[in-house]
Amino acid sequence: MDIATIIGLVGGTILVGLAIVTGGSVGIFLNIPGLLIVVGGTIATCFIKFSMADVINSVSVAMKAFMVKINPPEEIMENMVSIAKVAKERGLMALENEAPDDAFAAKAFQFLADGFDEAQIKELLKKDINLTVQRHSTGQKVFKGMGASAPAFGMIGTLIGLVQMLANMANPQDIGPAMAVALLTTLYGALLANLVFLPLADKLALRSQQELTSKNLILDGALGIARGLSGMVFQETLKIHLSPKDRLRVIPKAKGAGGT
């Protein structure tokens, strides 16, 4: 579970809630018609912009912001160096006994054990990577679309409230409360966009980039094993995916794991 996402959402909600509670009555910030306009309009717009499958799948994609744990690149590199040592010493068939947690790595090892050549492995794994990026991109677009639509429907709700308020100008004492209700929809739209939808879209973009880096590292590792690379040549092939700081940190462990 990604604690940072939880802290951000819960912390932001608590801070806004405290500002509301310390500033007056909580009840004046609750307006059901306004919520219906903002939430309902935002969801309706998503179904217009995207297919039903894309909108539904975006929910599962959003869970990556909370639940998915991506191993650090240096850890993946160390594992790939160890796998290369196993393949060098015991043959590619021995990789059938390897059972990594990552489904993409498991697929790569199975291809190697089944005797797929380098070109086939590259083609199949690249296709997997491209399809993954496409799914993630659609999920991000859904949440960015919601982030753009929520403030717009907040403004629409405000305009509706103003029209209703101006239609009842005969009662001046009702103008203040009616104006407050009209402005609540703008508040709802701004909060949902800037505290939920847009931050989630950015976090999903970060998760997608991290997963892309991990999969490309595994791909290069699998191709290196297929070519029979080992030792420093294999390590240098994988180190390109690491940051300079991580490269310095992983070198001692990688040397010990891959000295073949």
3-state secondary structure 7-66: HHHHHHHHHHHHHHHHHCCCHHHCCHHHHHHHHHHHHHHHHHHCCHHHHHHHHHHHHHHC
Q: What is the per-residue pLDDT for 100?
A: 80
Q: What is the per-residue pLDDT for 220?
A: 92
Q: What is the per-residue pLDDT for 47?
A: 92
Q: What is the per-residue pLDDT for 256?
A: 42
Residue 92 and residue 112 in contact, taking contact as beta carbons nearer than 8 Å: yes
Residue showing tokens 């894309």: 54
On the 0-12 / 13-18 / 19+ scale of CB atoms within 10 A, 140 is: buried
Split at pLDDT 50, 70, 90, the class of 188 is: very high
Nearest to 230 by CA among 80, 72, 75: 80
Cα–Cα distances in angstroms (integers) from residue 15 to residues 48, 147, 191, 257, in the given order: 34, 20, 12, 48
Question: Please, what is the average pLDDT of the chain?
Answer: 84
Split at pLDDT 50, 70, 90, the class of 156 is: very high
CA 225 to CA 109: how far, in whole Å? Answer: 10
> Which of 9-13, 172-176, 217-221 is least confident?
172-176
Q: What percent of the chain has pLDDT over 90?
A: 30
Hey, CA dihedral for 244, 122, 133, 84, is it positive or negative? negative
Q: What is the per-residue pLDDT for 255?
A: 45
CA 77 to CA 224: how far, in whole Å? Answer: 12
Say whether pLDDT at 151 is over 90: yes
> Which of 53-67, 102-116, 216-230 is least confident?
53-67
Residue 179 and residue 211 in contact, taking contact as beta carbons nearer than 8 Å: no
Q: What is the per-residue pLDDT for 257?
A: 42
Say whether pLDDT at 51 is over 60: yes
Q: What is the per-residue pLDDT for 127?
A: 94
CA 187 to CA 136: how far, in whole Å? Answer: 29
The mean pLDDT of 90-99, rounded to a whole number, is 82
pTM: 0.80
Q: When comparing pLDDT for 253 and 212, which is higher?
A: 212
Say whether pLDDT at 86 is over 50: yes
Say whether pLDDT at 81 is over 80: yes
Q: What is the per-residue pLDDT for 92?
A: 84
Say whether pLDDT at 176 is over 80: no
Q: What is the per-residue pLDDT for 232?
A: 81
The mean pLDDT of 89-109, rounded to a whole number, is 85
Cα–Cα distances in angstroms (integers) from residue 260 to residues 32, 84, 230, 234, 254, in the given order: 68, 9, 6, 10, 11
Residue 38 and residue 150 in contact, taking contact as beta carbons nearer than 8 Å: yes
